[in-house]
């Protein structure tokens, strides 16, 4: 409420207060006369003059001054102003309803006693606002043109234009669903203004007015609406005591053990809160801690990650029932710790360099075991006897290099692959067809025959054909490194019985001339890769090529050893459009979101989709590691459910004639001035009467001589 003067210049009349003061000081009669002699005449005369100048009857003077000031103030025409309710809706013949379905409108009405709402206490602010909007549309006079706009995320028309079919508009409003977007109030007023077409009309806005941004950001559009003859009618839907806990950030960082995830929680309420916060890792492991958040502030809590954890997108979740969508925060988690790989050395050799797995071990852990333990691939090298204790809980991939007799491990290996493990078999001089076919016949892509020499001693060998990068294993080499395969030479090869590629068996890599070099077989939920040459320098120079290390690393990921750790990583806000480049535009791309499959458009070598809900999105192709991991989160601005600037106050600044209530104070001031003038006049008359009565006896007293 504010006060204003319509004629401030009239206050200059306040200078007239000097007149009552002068009148009050003049012709003041003494209370009584005292006889005196001629000798005392001069002394008494001086005292008498001083008494005449002394201010007497201050109460009477105050009444006269107050009366004059009140009259002057009444002439200045002061008035009180405050924002008030606008006139009833429907008088202009055109109405556009703007309904806020942003994230903050999902605040639970049943938890917070809502102010001035008719809900049943079990829904959300949106459910109450939606019902009020529908009731308004149905109550409008016949012939009123009506339109509707929603402002959750991006403003969108529910009706393409104004319509006289009020039932149709009411049905469209009833179908409005909750979004996790921000409040696009400015966009909603813009669409409403365009729908009215500059012909005047009313825009009724149902919103919670939450946060410090939405209402001030719509001031310009509100001015344009008013300039075009439109009028705004705010219908706020506010909780009486808003509160909300929200996770506004979660990040993984290296540290002791497997590192830690730091979570930031904001308290948008007026009371201190202690709540549990749970971090769920991509592999499903959950870790819970408690966080104490002061009222109106934020607090941080750290959760330690295990030494070994799969990579992907994790989630930090706080326990709060007020607003569900912002209780969780999706964050990226790289592969923590090593992806453990069992390497079986079938020919250790006299020196490390002579070992069958020397090059393989260094390709798996190029920076050594210490670095691999912090994240990457950690090879556990063992002899063939170590296969008997194979545990799928410790290892997801097994490399067998030139193992002479695998019979003792045939059963564990078969069960390991069937349950989803990956097996890589590399042959060599120790391998015989009879033993392998008998022991591993159910795992081999095709029965072995015998090794053959492809070139004469001293010759470089047969080159390798360039791989098909459409295959999942070689997809990363489409961006570079594919030509390096052609530089590898193979001198000796294990032959296979003839076979044809099908859905379970296929040749991934060949030598020039067509001989199979790398063959894959699916067994149960796992895969077997058979190299028909060695993984050392015995039969080939493959380990010396630049592509050997990335190919070995890719093989581990391809067989599931680093599931969820690869792929591009993105962090976006709900409502953003995400575009992921593809290695091959012909790939069959799918996107899995927090609510299930997501519509994706593949165009110009990219897969594009919209992140409409908070959570993890995985962009992938069938049978291959993820192409991208996307963590989508809501805008923290929407989590602030505390009341911001009101729409009616903002509108009152733009269109004061419609929104300001006025009460003129002039009649009251004038009446008060006249009343005080009358009282002062009565008091003055009574004062004069008392003075006259007191003066009569004094006149009869003779003066002393």
Q: What angle do CA 466, 472, 477 make, to 5 degrees?
A: 45
Cβ contacts of residue 390 below 8 Å, gap of 6+? 342, 398, 409, 412, 413, 416
**Residue 307 falls inside a structural domain:** no
**Residue 578 falls inside a structural domain:** yes
Instruction: Convert the pLDDT of each residue in 35-54 to its tens digit.
Output: 545 545 555 655 565 555 45
Question: Do 550 and 575 belong together in one domain?
Answer: no
Instruction: Convert the pLDDT of each residue in 93-103 to its tens digit.
Output: 899 999 999 99
Domain of 20 in residue numbering reads as 2-82+665-699
Phi, psi for 117 (deg, rounded to 5): -110, 155
**Residue 53 falls inside a structural domain:** yes
Q: What is the pLDDT of residue 111?
A: 47
Q: What is the pLDDT of residue 115?
A: 44
Question: Do 552 and 575 belong together in one domain?
Answer: no
Question: Do 199 and 234 belong together in one domain?
Answer: yes
- Are the C-beta atoms of residues 357 and 140 closer than 8 Å to each other? no
Exposure of 561 in the CB half-sphere (CA atoms within 13 A): 29
DSSP, residue by residue, 68-105: HHHHHHHHT-EEEEEE-PPPPTTSSSEEEEEE--SGGG
CA pair distance 684, 677, nearest whole angstrom: 10
Confidence of residue 372 (pLDDT cuts 50, 70, 90): very low
CA pair distance 538, 525, nearest whole angstrom: 33
- Are the C-beta atoms of residues 359 and 543 closer than 8 Å to each other? yes
Question: Do 352 and 472 belong together in one domain?
Answer: yes
Question: Do 543 and 530 belong together in one domain?
Answer: yes
Instruction: Convert the pLDDT of each residue in 281-308 to its tens digit.
Output: 988 899 999 999 999 999 999 999 887 7
Helix (H) or strand (E) holding 130: helix 125-139
**Residue 551 falls inside a structural domain:** yes
Tell me the β-bridge partners of 510: 516
CA dihedral 27, 33, 34, 39 (to 10 degrees): 50
186 pLDDT above the threshold of 90: yes
User: Mean pLDDT, to the nearest integer, of 563-583?
Assistant: 80
Query: CATH number for the domain including 621?
Result: 2.60.40.10
User: Mean pLDDT, to the nearest integer, of 484-507?
Assistant: 94
Q: Is 613 strand, coil or helix?
A: coil
Give me the sheet containing 328-333, strands edge to edge: 286-293, 273-280, 312-318, 328-333
**Residue 295 falls inside a structural domain:** no
425: its two tokens: 């078999």
Question: Do 194 and 54 belong together in one domain?
Answer: no
238: its two tokens: 């506010």
Q: What is the pLDDT of residue 705?
A: 40
Lowest mean per-residue pLDDT among 87-91, 182-186, 307-311, 477-481: 87-91
Q: What is the pLDDT of residue 660?
A: 62
CA pair distance 173, 129, nearest whole angstrom: 10
- Are the C-beta atoms of residues 80 and 5 closer than 8 Å to each other? no
* Residue owning tokens 């929200």: 246
Q: What is the pLDDT of residue 5?
A: 61
Number of domains in the chain: 4
Confidence of residue 369 (pLDDT cuts 50, 70, 90): low
- Identify how many contiguous H helices and E strands the chain contains and give both numbers: 15, 34
More confident residue, 207 or 663: 207
Instruction: Convert the pLDDT of each residue in 407-440 to its tens digit.
Output: 988 989 999 999 888 999 999 999 999 999 999 9
**Residue 301 falls inside a structural domain:** no
Tell how strand 260-267 and strand 245-253 pair up.
antiparallel
Cβ contacts of residue 328 below 8 Å, gap of 6+? 247, 315, 316, 317, 318, 614, 615
Last residue of a domain, one of 558, 576, 603: 558
Cβ contacts of residue 578 below 8 Å, gap of 6+? 570, 572, 608, 609, 610, 611, 617, 630
Closest-CA residue to 541 (of 488, 616, 468, 475): 488
pTM score, whole prediction: 0.61
Question: Do 473 and 528 belong together in one domain?
Answer: yes
Instruction: Convert the pLDDT of each residue in 244-285 to its tens digit.
Output: 999 999 999 876 666 899 999 999 999 999 999 999 998 889
Last residue of a domain, one of 517, 540, 558: 558
Phi, psi for 591 (deg, rounded to 5): -125, 125
Question: Do 466 and 491 belong together in one domain?
Answer: yes
Question: Do 149 and 32 belong together in one domain?
Answer: no
CA pair distance 513, 454, nearest whole angstrom: 11
Last residue of a domain, one of 523, 558, 593: 558
Closest-CA residue to 398 (of 354, 440, 337, 447): 440
- Are the C-beta atoms of residues 14 and 673 closer than 8 Å to each other? no
Beta strands in 100-215 (DSSP E): 145-150, 156-157, 201-207
**Residue 248 falls inside a structural domain:** no
Tell me the β-bridge partners of 529: 424, 520
585 pLDDT above the threshold of 90: no
C-alpha distances out from residue 250 to 267, 278, 522, 577, 633, Å: 16, 11, 39, 22, 11
Lowest mean per-residue pLDDT among 105-114, 423-432, 593-602: 105-114
495: its two tokens: 């032959």
Q: What is the pLDDT of residue 639?
A: 94
Cβ neighbours of 98 (radius 10 Å): 26
Question: Do 536 and 581 belong together in one domain?
Answer: no
More confident residue, 372 or 671: 671
Query: CATH number for the domain including 502?
Result: 3.40.50.880
Question: Do 142 and 215 belong together in one domain?
Answer: yes
Q: How many residues does the chain have?
A: 705
- Are the C-beta atoms of residues 187 and 151 closer than 8 Å to each other? yes
Exposure string over 583-599, b if 16+ CB within 10 A, otherwise e:
beeebebebebbeeebe
Question: Do 211 and 347 belong together in one domain?
Answer: no
**Residue 309 falls inside a structural domain:** no
């Amino acid at each position: 409420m504010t006060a204003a003067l319509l004629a401030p210049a009239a206050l200059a009349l306040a200078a007239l207060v000097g007149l009552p003061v002068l009148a009050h000081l003049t012709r003041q009669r003494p209370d009584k006369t005292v006889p005196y002699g001629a000798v005392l005449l001069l002394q008494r005369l001086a005292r008498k003059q001083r008494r005449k100048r002394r201010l007497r009857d201050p109460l009477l003077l105050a009444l006269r001054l107050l009366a004059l000031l009140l009259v002057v103030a009444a002439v200045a025409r002061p008035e009180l102003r405050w924002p008030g309710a606008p006139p009833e809706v429907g008088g202009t013949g055109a109405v556009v309803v703007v309904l806020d379905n942003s994230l903050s409108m999902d605040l639970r009405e049943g938890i917070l006693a809502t102010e001035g709402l008719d809900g049943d206490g079990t829904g959300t602010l949106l459910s109450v606002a939606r019902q009020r909007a529908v009731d308004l549309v149905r109550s409008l006079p016949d012939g009123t043109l009506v339109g509707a706009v929603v402002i959750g995320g991006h403003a969108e028309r529910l009706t393409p234009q104004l319509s006289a079919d009020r039932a149709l508009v009411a049905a469209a409003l009833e179908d409005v669903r909750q979004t996790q977007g921000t409040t696009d109030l400015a966009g909603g007023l813009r669409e409403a203004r365009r729908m009215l077409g500059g012909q005047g009309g009313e825009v009724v806005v149902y919103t919670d007015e939450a946060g410090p941004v939405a209402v001030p950001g719509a001031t310009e559009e509100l001015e344009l609406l008013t300039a075009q003859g439109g009028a705004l009618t705010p219908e706020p839907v506010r909780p009486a005591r808003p509160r909300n806990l929200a996770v506004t950030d979660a990040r993984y960082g290296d540290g002791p053990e497997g590192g830690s995830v730091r979570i930031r929680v904001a308290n948008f309420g007026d009371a201190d809160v202690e709540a549990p916060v749970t971090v769920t890792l991509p592999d499903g492991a959950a870790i819970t801690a408690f966080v104490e958040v002061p009222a109106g502030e934020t607090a941080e809590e750290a959760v330690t990650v295990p030494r070994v954890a799969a990579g992907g997108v994790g989630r930090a979740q706080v326990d709060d029932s007020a607003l569900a969508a912002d209780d969780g925060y999706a964050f990226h988690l790289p592969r923590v710790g090593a992806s453990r790989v069992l390497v079986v050395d079938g020919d250790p050799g006299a020196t490390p360099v002579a070992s069958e797995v020397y090059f393989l071990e260094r390709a798996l852990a190029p920076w050594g075991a210490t670095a691999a333990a912090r994240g990457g691939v950690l090879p556990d090298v063992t002899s063939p006897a170590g296969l008997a204790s194979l545990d799928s809980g410790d290892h997801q991939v097994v490399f067998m290099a030139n193992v002479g007799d695998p019979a003792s491990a045939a059963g564990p290996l078969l069960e390991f692959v069937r349950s989803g493990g990956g097996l890589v078999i590399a042959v060599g001089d120790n391998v015989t067809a009879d033993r392998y076919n008998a022991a591993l016949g159910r795992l081999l892509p095709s029965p072995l025959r015998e090794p053959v020499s492809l070139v004469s001693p001293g010759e470089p060998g047969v080159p390798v054909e360039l791989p098909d990068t459409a295959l999942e294993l070689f997809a990363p080499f489409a961006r570079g490194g594919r030509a390096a395969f052609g530089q590898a030479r193979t001198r000796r090869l294990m032959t296979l019985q003839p076979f044809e590629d099908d859905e379970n068996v296929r040749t991934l890599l060949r030598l020039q001339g067509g001989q199979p070099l790398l063959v894959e077989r699916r067994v149960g939920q796992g895969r077997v890769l058979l190299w028909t040459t060695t993984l050392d320098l015995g039969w080939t120079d493959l380990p010396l090529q630049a592509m050997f290390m990335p190919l070995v690393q890719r093989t581990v990921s391809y067989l599931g050893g680093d599931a969820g750790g690869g792929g591009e990583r993105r962090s976006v806000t709900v409502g953003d459009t995400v575009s992921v480049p593809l290695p091959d535009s012909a790939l069959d791309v799918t996107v899995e979101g927090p609510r299930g499959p997501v519509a994706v458009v593949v165009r110009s070598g990219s897969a594009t989709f919209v992140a409409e809900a908070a959570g993890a999105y995985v962009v992938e192709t069938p049978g291959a590691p993820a192409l991208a991991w996307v963590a989508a989160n809501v805008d923290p601005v929407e989590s602030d459910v505390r009341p911001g600037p009101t729409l009616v106050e903002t509108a009152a600044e733009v269109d004061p004639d419609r929104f300001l209530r006025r009460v003129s104070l002039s009649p009251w001031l004038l009446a008060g001035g006249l009343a005080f003038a009358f009282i002062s006049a009565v008091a003055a008359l009574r004062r004069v009467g008392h003075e006259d009565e007191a003066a009569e006896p004094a006149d009869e007293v003779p003066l002393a001589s």
